[in-house]
Structure 1
Amino acid sequence: MATFLLSLYDAAEVAPPTLHCAFTAGGEAVPIARVAPLALAHYEQRDESLNAAVWSLFPVDAGVDELGELRDQAEAECARRWTRRPDGKYDRTSLILAAPHHERGRIAANLGTLRHAYGSLIAGGHYVPETLHDLKTAGMGLLAERKARGAAEAVGELVERLNTEMDEATNKHYAVGNWARALLAYCRTLYDLYPWTSTPLIFRAAEAFELGVAQLEGELWTNMAQTALQLGKVTRSARWYGVARDCATAVIQAMFTSAQLLSTAYLLSSDAIIGLAALERDADGANGANGASAVALDDLAMQQAAAASELIINGGGDTWAHGACYSSHGACGVPWRGARPAPRNLRAGAAGDGDKRIRWPQEAYG
């Protein structure tokens, strides 16, 4: 099973043992150099002069193996720049030096996850392109074509349109149990968001949340994780549990995400890990090698579920999850006093009370 998890950041030799990614810490106290001096005129596309610079962040022509290599290179660069303080806190200089490399690795990992999810739909026969042209122009081919032209929509209009598309996919496909069509729709909506993904290499925190990019991307990834999880349960396939975990990890590894979405991502990842553990046990019994692996997976799943609960208890809600995480993740989920997100129900968009909603894990668990 291919996976694009950024595993390095859970390692004790890089940071104190924690489920949270070290390089999502720092809050506004850690200045991260953006790829270009972007301003409102660029986000609104009144000025398109920096589009090529923005697109340069995304290796959309890379194959699966190359994306994995780019991710690994970024992990190595982060490790070289990391200094662990005696008190266990994160070193500010290390964060400043390492965070840009983490972001580039995360971008490569996310592209790999998106490609894997989309490709799994085709490989599993859930989606069959009608023509060779449809296959070539779908997904990464579409991004490559847009990158070559330096094409980008105005962020505000794009976010509004994609929120509507996402809600339609939820109500039209997910709500009636058509998991494959729902996942396909979410994948296509996420592809359409590029290049305006929620990264500090493009946006500052206030911009990412005020423009709605942080909320939209985070919700798309969690929707994809939840939908892949349903496919995993129906098919009993490790492939889909892996896709679910990787999609959840895209939120866990993101600097700009809300406490609510981060909590949801941890719960979804925990559920995916439990599914993988069950398959491990089925392979050769609880006492075999796979059974021992399943015990370790169970432990990780429990830790992630606990992290999800802590985020909710801290009361951050729809504000920036890491806004107060200056030198550690001890304040994860504490309400951020910065920019407020767009007034929107993060779990099902602006739909009315009578519309079908995704049953999120925190609701399912009571």
Structure 2
Amino acid sequence: MDFQTRDDFNATVDLLLTRFPDTYSSDRGHQVVSWTQCEEGLPYLKDLIEKNENHEVSFSNMQSFAELLLRYLYERENYDTAKQYLEASINTFSDCTSLSYTSAIDLRGLIELDIGHPHDSLKYFEQAFNLRKAVLPEDDPFLAANFVNYGLAFTDIGDLNRARDYLQKSIDIRLKAKSDRIGNSYSNMASLLLRMDKPDEAEDMLKGCPSLANFTGETFLKTGNPRFSGDMVLLSRIRLKQGLYDDALRLASKALTFRRECLPQRLKVCDSLYQVADLLQQGDNYEMVSQLLSECVRISEGLPKSEGQRHMARALFKLSKISERRGSLKESAEFLNRANSVKADIANREKSVLDSGNMDADFEHLVPWMLW
């Protein structure tokens, strides 16, 4: 390409940088307020990636282009696309010790975690942590984000004491720094405490989140932030453990409504559909349960296999159990065969063993402990 084309390429990168929030050089949470302008810039971003791949452009602001590719990938749950963009980003970085490059590696770990690969996520989290600690003070708030990610992975794996150590480190750092991200540490610690079967301690921890001071369903919804629908899901699960079924169902239903409006046809909607269905089946509302689980299967089928199959298999297995309770044994067997077929496809694609001898636990553990 000629010099003028390279100049045009660089100018386009500079212009698009203004459309995407800076999430790569500091510890920040969800950037939902920027979604609209991010979406306006995505077609141009895709075009830049294709042009760079086809023409191997050598342009002056390579680092800026790499930083551009980091933004707006994870929050919208387009994981398959995000992984492709991340590969382009990682291969484009001119400085593989920068915080920007580290954030790309970190993000890759978060994607692996959300699509059900906590062990795989750990290698990315470790790489990101080692890069950051080499250039940051040991009490820098950015390192607290790494400790949270370690905590998330170990919570999902079931190494709960290790998860608690990391999450406590994140709390200590953020409290010392008076970080506005302390609520993120508290809510993840609350999730861990619930998994440790300590619902009352989990509730107390969740109440410590500054943004959830009022602690009502409306508190979560008014934020307009999808992260807080995860907190609502967590509180619903806490309420269920406390024996407060009606509260649990109310909160789970509100979270589902919010997620449908915010991110329809994606994994977190599938997760909420399953949670509400699981609650309703405890009240023998089998017709509604079947409708919700069937919707979960339909959404999952429309997603890339790497994203949707785990949720599909779990929902199909639950449909099998519900059909059995209703006396529809033939239908139950059909759902079970489909569930096992999808699970076998996952195991074959990922070269993993997904059978422990406990069928209920095997299907439940296909998906993460929490999807925030």
| TM-score w.r.t. length of structure 1 | 0.33
The structure in which a higher percent of residues are helix is 2
| TM-score w.r.t. length of structure 2 | 0.32
Higher alpha-carbon Rg = 2
